């Protein structure tokens, strides 16, 4: 699974459950970014 696929799946899951999902690219170095799922987050690398 690549980063962009993970982001799409989490966005779909969040929409179905009514949880806010956002990807913040400036909270990471280089191609990394932070993916928020409600209050929780994880770092996602290389969204190619």
Q: What does the alpha-carbon distance between residue 24 and residue 37 come to, in Å, rounded to a whole number?
A: 11
Give residue-wise pLDDT tens across range 16-38: 999 999 999 887 788 899 999 99
pLDDT over threshold 80, residue 46: no
Whole-model pTM: value is 0.81
Phi and psi angles of residue 36, each rounded to the nearest 5 degrees, phi first: -100, 135
Give the pLDDT confidence score for residue 1 in this predicted structure.
82
Average pLDDT of every residue of the chain: 90
């Amino acid at each position: 699974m690549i980063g962009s696929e993970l982001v799409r799946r989490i966005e779909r899951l969040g929409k179905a459950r009514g949880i806010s999902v956002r990807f913040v690219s400036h909270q990471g170095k280089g191609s990394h970014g932070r993916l928020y799922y409600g209050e929780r987050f994880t770092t996602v690398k290389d969204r190619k």
